[in-house]
Structure 1
């Protein structure tokens, strides 16, 4: 084909812009019960992809806040395309994903601790791009029609928090002051994936948040207020291996002795953590002087008020 025919073939293609509307979704297992937390809705950057026949046919990035509203991708006006958005990628992860040429590479891309801490979010939609202008993009100075895609993104991490922790003594037990020294998250998963669950987890338990709040406990239940400011984030963890399940750990000190109490996180009736949910715990702990350990009950409903009977803490 000579140069004239090449130019004619290029000009015969029609092009148009794809622009983006974007919203955020919070998941709830109970209709109408959702929680809005400002830090989880922050946008530091957005990475957009256009997919067609399994290939990446366009990509673009936008900065913080609503900068994405001015973002457009020029593409061929030849029908339906998938649109894909990832919010709050780390610089290194974003660079890696932009180098991919296939849809599968993007969807199965690994996410790491930096992406988790940035509260990465993912969403997709579709757009019909049918009205375009026949042109050579590098030589055309006019305007192109714009097709707008709507995308709703949701969290790829889970949030674990305590809304209330109360402690009381059993009858006849010496009522020593109780110090909550800290809380930690056992088997916090630092390995994520854009879609699905990473095949290999990266568990971290070295994440204790220091509290050191001491309460004098008489005959009434005492509430430890400081726990309400402590939160953890993690990627999904659905392992069936008992020692690898995600659990919240409370660290106490009573009469100079240290006690730890572990609460495995449940999603409805299964000990696992799913992405896109808040696990909000209300915990009751009883201190007693005998050596008979009671069972720990843990009932978790996503985005809902839940009460957990932590069982007994033994102070000798």
Structure 2
């Protein structure tokens, strides 16, 4: 198959546009970060065939020094975007001890604007005209009924209540500060995605999609510019450092209106079970965010905690 990086194509039910960095399905449109898009294009170019880990590292991470864990993390993120199930894959299947294979169908994406619709039949035109007449009569009756009952409709029903507006937040990609090679970026990305998943379950909050946050990765922007781009009220960011077997993960919550830090905390944990560490930190940040952004007092957890209730 010819390279797909410059042209739109379809993968299963998704329409993929590498140039805009978006995938679309029905009315759903998602932004995809550069790494995930390169991975999807690479798998699509070899659709139906097994792509080895080494081949993915050469084609997707060309020139970067990363470990195989980066591939595992990227595949997990891409599956989440596509709505795929690792145990019953409709898009990406794992080939044990070899690599991955794209099992969904791949085809060029046809622009609907270039297709010429067939002219409607006379019978169809008659049905449309008949339906339009019925709708016009119904609208007239409704307007007349409203005119006769205007006095009864002046007061809204007490049973109708307005939905309270939700606060919005975005989790920015955590920074890998372990080394210049950034060979543990997959850990930082995992913490970011776990936080998005956990915070998305909080009542009263709208959480920006991780693809939108990852699209800003590497860009230099102020807090106000980032919040405006993501249309959120709060930003969650942080960093990852390592000392031997110990990981120090720092997280903070920043208020978009004035750029002030309303909560921050550093966690020192063993790196032997990264998934447990990610889940633990995500839970504590979600709990702290719920308190500090609702004006509740912050209990001291020790470490490098700083809190300023908004």
Q: TM-score, normalization: structure 1?
A: 0.27
Which structure features the higher share of helix residues? 2
Return the structure number with greater relative CO, CA threshold 8 A, min gap 6: 1
Which structure features the higher share of strand residues? 1
